[in-house]
Each structure stands twice: as structure tokens, then as C-alpha cells.
Amino acid sequence: MFVVFNFSLYFAKIGLGTPSRDFHVQVDTGSDILWVNCAGCIRCPRKSDLVELTPYDVDASSTAKSVSCSDNFCSYVNQRSECHSGSTCQYVIMYGDGSSTNGYLVKDVVHLDLVTGNRQTGSTNGTIIFGCGSKQSGQLGESQAAVDGIMGFGQSNSSFISQLASQGKVKRSFAHCLDNNNGGGIFAIGEVVSPKVKTTPMLSKSAHYSVNLNAIEVGNSVLELSSNAFDSGDDKGVIIDSGTTLVYLPDAVYNPLLNEILASHPELTLHTVQESFTCFHYTDKLDRFPTVTFQFDKSVSLAVYPREYLFQVREDTWCFGWQNGGLQTKGGASLTILGDMALSNKLVVYDIENQVIGWTNHNCSGGIQVKDEESGAIYTVGAHNLSWSSSLAITKLLTLVSLLIPFFCNVAL
């Protein structure tokens, strides 16, 4: 018997090279560099159930240049002593789910849509350094839900947005609205003027988009948690990560949370699916379960509704999207990560320049309003259906965890 899951993978379309060719890349706030699968790659997917895959070919672009070890950018992604001046800069990235990509760095032209009017776009371009993937492992080599690569939107100098900002092309601010109901959504670089969001400060010493979590409410009850429940050493607080599918919590948080949710449903009998997911038989309305609300600094709250934290595996069986433990810093402390499950159906704004993150509930199939920096004009941006959220018959649930594991790179957990 197969199990049917309904999860979403959100990705965007960009152009690379001269002439420009389209690539579909996962948008990931938990990592930094952009990389795409390259021609001749080992263990790269050849086809996908989502999109037609396009391997990047350095020789087919007249503007492509390799990046040498002597380039300052190389030190961001490669700190190995054997990388000598004159040699091509290699990169290796390992992700939190055990997947990895390696290859070499390339500099080429990137082509993006530019908002020119209400629901109208033109084009703009810039130069960016990115990874040319020559070997993949883990889920990155799977073909079922494959895209062409990953576009890192972290805070470091090597990230996609930081590179464009250093050229004066954009400001270091972006937003996404992930539509978990209809698929697709919005991803925009620049200032969002509507809807308005309430913001909470980013933690200054974190390599990721981390914010301070003060409390968790289940319905009208506040969970009783220890004062250091979300203390993970140098990377304190909660990480906001669009490249991670579910929500990962320390045991000291996960157990009280589940117990409080289940207190209103003592009739449920729990069982485990795939050795990872806590599930139960249920045929009643989901709104009989409580809303879970995360409370942050500056009185900012994030509500996760039952339809968001529960997913259906059979007609009469549901599972929790909360995951306990498993993700740790290099020092062994547990990480708390709010992934797409908690971020969907909300406009989430990352203002790197002012070091704040904000969000508000929003119908992501509708539009948002953005400000043109040059003219000051305000335009409406509509949603696009560049995501995959159809049900799949699969034998293993593909949950993505994007946070980087330190491996010859300058990002450390």
C-alpha cells in the first residue's frame, strides 16, 4: 500500500548566461550561494516530475568565466589550503539532511524579471558568481522532485542578494508568500509596501535568519518551558528557513507541545509512519484542533493553524508536521527551525539592511505592492504558479532541510 503525501516545493525561474537560458531553482533562506547542475554532472537528475531540467553549460555562454582560487570570493566558499592561485575555485556544500553538492565556481550574467507596472514585468540583469555543480548526493540526486539548483538568500557576502546589492542592483530586502492552498506564490526583491508587516529584530550574531522566541501558545494555554529551551549556543533563538519543509523543535519543546495539542483529543491513538512522523486516525474537522502561536520580541506573533501543521497520508489518517530533535549545531545543541509549514499563507519580509524580519497572514494567490526605488512608484505584483504541491504516490516522504553543515565553507551552525 502506498502513502499519499501533500507537500510543496517552492522554486523560482531565473535566466543565466549569454544567450540566456531559463533555470528553475529552489529559493532557500537557510543557505547562501546559488548553484545549478552543470553539463556532465555525476549523479545529477536527468529528468523531473516538476519541470524540464536544464544543465548549465559553461561553453555555451559567451559571458561565462571560471573563478580562480586567487579571487576574493573563493575564500567565502573554499578554505582549503590546497586551493592555489591560478587553480579553479572548488566548492563543497553539505546540507542538514545529509545531501551534498560539489563543483566549481563560475561568473556569468543573471537575468531577472523587473517590475515595470501593475502586474507587468520587464527584464534586468547583473553579474553573479555561482556554483557549477559537477556531483550531487542524497536528495539532490533524486529525480522525482528535482529542480535545476538552489538559490541561497542568506545574509553572507556570497549570497545571491548580497552579490546583486554590492553592484547597486537591489537593496538587501526581499519577501516571499508561499501559497499552501493553491500552490505557487510570490517572491520579490525590494521594498514591500502592502500589506504591512510587524517586524521583530534578527539576532545579530547568528549566521542565519534567527529571531528571539519568548513563548508558545496552544489555543489559550501558554506552554511551560524552561528559560533556555531555545538556547543553542552561539546560534540562539529560532531560525526562519524557507528551504526547510517542516518545523524542528528540541525535545524539551516538542513533547509539551504535542501533549497540549492532544489534551483536547484524548480519544486519539498515536502511531508512527516511516519511523519519523506521529500520526493518528481522524475523520472529523481539523478546526477542532488548537492553533499554535509563537510569540517573539516586539509583540510579534506567528500563528500556525491545524491545516498547516497537520498533513494527510490517507483518507482517515493525519500526521503532525512538528519534528522532535535531530538537527544540532556543531556543539551538539538542538536547533529550532520554522520551515515552510509555519511560513506558508503568510507574507514574510526579510529586511537585512535594518536587521528585522516580519510577517502577516496573507492570501498568497492575490498580489502585493512593491516600491520602485528609482521612480518611487508603487506597483502590484501578482502570484505565479511556480511551485509543486500536487499529491504524490511515494514510499518515502521527501522533507527538505536546507541549513548548511560546516564543510570547507564560512557558514557555521
Q: Which residues are catalytic?
A: 28, 241
Q: What's the number of CA atoms in the CB half-sphere (13 Å) around residue 258?
A: 22
| Cα separations in angstroms, 241 against 244, 246, 319 | 6, 10, 21
Q: How far apart are CA 91 and CA 102, in angstroms?
A: 5
DSSP lists the bridge partners of residue 122 as 114
| Cα separations in angstroms, 257 against 124, 250, 326 | 46, 11, 17
Q: How far apart are CA 145 and CA 149, in angstroms?
A: 11
Residue given cell 535566466 in the structure block: 15
For 307, phi then psi, to 5°, come to -70, -15
- Contact by Cβ (8 Å): 387, 9: yes
* Strand extents, DSSP E, 31-83: 34-42, 65-66
Q: Would you call 113 helix, strand, or coil by DSSP?
A: strand
For 206, phi then psi, to 5°, come to -90, 140
Q: How far apart are CA 205 and CA 208, in angstroms?
A: 9
Look at phi and psi of residue 233 and say left if phi exceeds 0, alpha if psi is from -120 to 50, else beta: left
For 228, counting Cβ atoms within 10 Å of its Cβ (0-12 exposed, 13-18 middle, 19+ buried), the class is exposed
DSSP lists the bridge partners of residue 249 as 324
Q: How far apart are CA 218 and CA 235, in angstroms?
A: 26
Q: Would you call 74 helix, strand, or coil by DSSP?
A: helix
Please give the angle made by the CA atoms of 354, 403 and 90, to the nearest 5 degrees.
Answer: 100
Q: Which residues contact 229 (CB under 8 A, 6 or more apart)?
A: 250, 252, 253
- Contact by Cβ (8 Å): 355, 174: no
- Contact by Cβ (8 Å): 135, 103: yes
- For residue 370, the 8-state DSSP code is E
Residue given cell 510569540 in the structure block: 295
